[in-house]
Structure 1
């Protein structure tokens, strides 16, 4: 059985850890509220814009370079993770998906060196570095300044590379925010613009282009793509804070359970020590009386 000093030190350590996890939970909850408000306001606009864009692209009336489909020789995966840990399985779901794709659907591209990566968030870079995979990390710190303007710069770089033919297909892997306790892993096609899969629904639309079709192609479509990336980052940001809040809440509860066990152990150890001392005193008294 551990001595009293060891148990007391462990209790002090667990109490300190519990205070930290409780504080981190409160900070994550405060950040989650702001992040949740941002994605809640952005999502309906982004989804409606994407639907219109897919229908227009699928109608065959547009001749936009971002909607151009060509044989897929090079694929770019944009991995969106957090900069910090302590958020449960938030980051590992993304890295597991990457591993699954490299061993399955995109195995031939990975083996031929035609599977490329761009990281947004340090944890994705850490994973790729550990596995000795090359990646582009020039926009790794986007979460330090998560604005539409900063995201637009990253989106424009990706769009330019696609237009030049550096990549034939671009996908985003990120966590979609559902609620504080639930995040849904998404693999979403970014380029070329995905066409609507609903042929009947698409044929029901008769679009009138205002002010002009050229304006739609040159202004609205690029803006829509930038909005799509921004929405993915807002989703991931809210998911991160939700995952961290949940993880820290569980950690706080676990620390509480551990404290109960440690205090019980401390009391039993202390009681055993007192009992031993009483027995020793009694034995000593009896020995003196016998003399």
Structure 2
């Protein structure tokens, strides 16, 4: 049985840890409210922009000839992995990294063997994961979430789009956590480039619209903007998911620390009672020895 000093030190240590996890939970909850508001405002805009693009480009020759829609034999692959810059958020980062690895092993095994699978990581943890496993991490966007804005994400989108146009990659896929609620995040894998026509949306015919200035100009401007919005939405989803996952993880850690404190206090009381009992026995034994003399 541990001595009283050791148990007291452990109680103090666990109590300090519990205070930290409780504070981190409160901070995550405050950040989550802002992140949740941002993604709830962005979703309708991104959805309508996507629907508009599908409607305008349906059957339009200018859309079909757009370079962002051109499919090529898949030889070089870029995986855009969106994780966090910090840990202490449960399986948030591990789920995304494992999902990206599974996609690479299942769909792009030949490209991986040829060394043609590259990683672009938005978030430090994803870059660290794939670097340790020998993947080529072409770009690592750290501190994106500390100064999160459309302008910051647009830089990454421009880099990805230019690389695709320059034939550096034949396909680009995004892996991220979609925010559902505080306790639930859904890992999504979406093809970013080349653009794939949606088969679920009802699209009107181009004859239903009058284009100004021209159909070609509208599509030329709309497609790059839609791609940037798509990436920005994925980053916002991941940001909200991260805070939700961290809030849940810190809540569980706080509860676990409370349970551990309960057990340590029981152990401390038992050790203290045993020490008192031992002292009493020693006093009694000494008194009896003196009485016998």
TM-score, with length taken from structure 1: 0.95
Deviations 1:76-135 (A, max 9, x none): 100000000000000000111122123222111111112111011000111112112211
Mean Cα deviation higher: 190-199 or 233-242: 190-199
CA distance in 1 between counterparts of 2:200 and 2:237 reads: 26
Aligned to 1:82: 84
For the 8 Å contact 1:196–1:202, the answer to whether it is kept is no
For the 8 Å contact 1:14–1:259, the answer to whether it is kept is yes
Cα distance change on mapping 1:287 and 1:124 into 2, 3 Å: same
Aligned to 2:167: 165
Mean Cα deviation higher: 45-54 or 89-98: 45-54
Gaps of 5+ in 2: none
Name segments (4+ residues, structure 1) moved above 6 Å.
none
Gaps of 5+ in 1: none
CA distance in 2 between counterparts of 1:263 and 1:165 reads: 65
Mean Cα deviation higher: 248-257 or 125-134: 125-134
CA distance in 2 between counterparts of 1:198 and 1:2 reads: 65
CA distance in 2 between counterparts of 1:227 and 1:169 reads: 18
- Offset at residue 169 of structure 1 (A): 0.9
For the 8 Å contact 2:76–2:116, the answer to whether it is kept is yes
Task: Please give the secondary structure, in 2, of the residue aligned with 1:85.
Answer: coil
CA distance in 1 between counterparts of 2:12 and 2:143 reads: 37
Match of 1:180 among 179, 182, 192: 182
1:190-209 superposed matches below 5 A: 190-198=192-200, 201-202=202-203, 206-208=207-209, 209=211
CA distance in 1 between counterparts of 2:275 and 2:104 reads: 60
For the 8 Å contact 1:87–1:245, the answer to whether it is kept is yes
TM-score, with length taken from structure 2: 0.94
How many residues get paired? 290
Task: Please give the secondary structure, in 2, of the residue aligned with 1:145.
Answer: coil
CA distance in 2 between counterparts of 1:129 and 1:196 reads: 34
Cα RMSD of the aligned pairs, angstroms, is 1.6
Deviations 1:51-100 (A, max 9, x none): 33234445343121112222222111000000000000000001111221
